[in-house]
Amino acid sequence: MIDCSLYILISFLVSMLLGLGLIPLVVSFCKVKRIYDLPNERKVHKVFVPRLGGVCFIPCVVISFMLATAIVSRISEGTSLSLSLWTCYFSVGLLAIYVAGVVDDIVGVSPRTKFLVQIFAASILPLSGLYINNLYGFCGIGEIPLWVGATLTVIVIVFIDNAINLIDGIDGLAAFLAIIALLGFFVLFLSEDLLSYCIIIAGLLGVLVAFVRFNLFGKQGKNKIFMGDSGSLTLGFILGTLFVKCSMVRVNAEPAVVGGMPIVSSYLIVPVFDVCRVIITRFVHHRPIFMADKNHIHHKLLRTGMTQHQALGVLVVMALLFILINLLIGKSIGFTMIIVLDILVWVALQQLLDVFIRRNGKKVFV
Rounded distance between C-alpha atoms, residue 224 and residue 218, angstroms: 4
Three-state SS sequence of the chain = CCCHHHHHHHHHHHHHHHHHHHHHHHHHHHHHHCCEECCCCCCCCCCCEECCHHHHHHHHHHHHHHHHHHHHHHHCCCCCCCCCHHHHHHHHHHHHHHHHHHHHHHCCCCHHHHHHHHHHHHHHHHHCCCCCCEEEEECCEEECCHHHHHHHHHHHHHHHHHHHHHHCCCCCHHHHHHHHHHHHHHHHHHHCCCHHHHHHHHHHHHHHHHHHHHHCCCCCCCCCCCCHHHHHHHHHHHHHHHHHHHHCECCCCCECCCCCHHHHCCCCHHHHHHHHHHHHHHHHCCCCCCCCCCCCHHHHHHHCCCCHHHHHHHHHHHHHHHHHHHHHHCCCCCHHHHHHHHHHHHHHHHHHHHHHHHHCCCCCCC
Rounded distance between C-alpha atoms, residue 284 and residue 275, angstroms: 14
Rounded distance between C-alpha atoms, residue 86 and residue 323, angstroms: 28
Query: Would the annotation count 229 as a binding residue?
Result: yes
Annotated binding-site ranges = 165, 229
Annotated binding-site ranges for Mg(2+) = 165, 229
